[in-house]
Amino acid sequence: MKGKISINNLLSGLVIVMAVKFTVVGQAAKPVLVTTNKGEASMSIIDPVTMKVTGKVAVGDGPHEVVLSADGKTAYVSNYGGALGPGSSISVIDITTAKELRRVDVSPLMRPHGLHIIGTKLYFSAETNRAIARYDTVTNKIDWIMGTGQNGSHMVVVSPDQKKLYTANIGSDSVTVFNFTQTAPPGPSQIVQIPVGKQPEAIDLSPDGKEVWVGLNVEGMAEVVDLATAKSAAKIDIKGRPYRVRFTPNGKYVICTMLPTKEIVVIDVATRKEIKRLKLDNIPLGVAFSADGKTLFVTAGRPNPASPGVDQVLKIDLEKLTIIGTATPGAAPDGIAVSGV
């Protein structure tokens, strides 16, 4: 089943306003883990307790990122595209039936990538258009778009009150801050461009909202941005490309998945020092946490399809930094999300 959205006259900085509806979800989530599989245009469904694959769903070309609704019943996948050309859709998947409910056509927005969901609002980056957009999961409509004015706006993170949005801009060596001064989008906003190091891709917001950390692909560092001053506060040498940079739920540590050193690095946020490093056989990519922050889930892919071994999802005891479970999802796993654990 297809769901098409038409958007006309897209310009950098354009805001499109439609009705906004918020829903509070209070139902407890059933344990579920999902991964995107870029090599086969699919999403895998995994039991995070047993690490057994329970389902697989076909999605669009080049699925990169995935998020889950608060109740864990629905997954949203950004179909970035690949050899067939730029993607322009988001797959909406029912977890219980392992079926694609609809494939939302977001054109002329192209290469949807980074995803962040809060309630019924799904924020996503449109890399080709240098923009951030928001999809209402209830009305099946895009109700807000705004340009970043920067190149390669790849990943996006959003504050819990939806009044602040942050993008890492690979092609402009910057972080864009959207500060909505009164209400969540589409209210009045201020936009600030913060210069950072070379090719920032990974990004995350600290749980206290005071810092954004980005991974610098070229420099092999994690950079700390102080949001009060809108300036770089520190660079941490982690000796390799940090594909993802993620805060643990308690905000005490940052987890970096490293390319091409095949390592997971743990950084103490207070001291800004590396405290642990785990060597892997595969390349660690996407990162997700259990709610208590004690368990880390990581997609870990082979360097290429001809490499020995299998693509995996790793379940890791974060305190001991040891692998306690594995699953085999699909070809070239990347994005990952978990709920109910």
Triad 222, 322, 284: Cα angle to 5°? 45
pLDDT value at 31 more than 60:
yes
pLDDT value at 10 more than 90:
no
CA dist 89 and 112 (Å) reads 7
Tell me the whole-structure pTM to 2 decimals: 0.91
CA dist 68 and 285 (Å) reads 18
b/e code 314-341 from CB counts within 10 Å (16+ = b)? bbbebeeeebebebebbebbbbbbbbbb
Confidence of residue 131 (pLDDT cuts 50, 70, 90): very high
CA dist 78 and 106 (Å) reads 10
pLDDT value at 70 more than 90:
yes
Confidence of residue 212 (pLDDT cuts 50, 70, 90): very high
Both tokens of 125, joined, read 């980056």
pLDDT, position 294: 97
| 264: amino acid identity, one letter | I
What separation in angstroms does the CA of 238 have from each of 179, 181, 216, 220? 30, 35, 10, 6
pLDDT, position 28: 60
Domains and their CATH numbers in the chain: 2-284 (2.130.10.10)
- By the 10 Å C-beta count (0-12 exposed, 13-18 middle, 19+ buried), 160 is classed as exposed
Confidence of residue 11 (pLDDT cuts 50, 70, 90): very low
Give Cα 252 to chain centroid, integer Å: 20
- Only one residue has tokens 């439609």, namely 18
CA dist 68 and 297 (Å) reads 15
- Only one residue has tokens 């469904």, namely 45
Average pLDDT over the chain reads: 92
- By the 10 Å C-beta count (0-12 exposed, 13-18 middle, 19+ buried), 138 is classed as exposed
CA dist 122 and 317 (Å) reads 30
pLDDT, position 260: 86
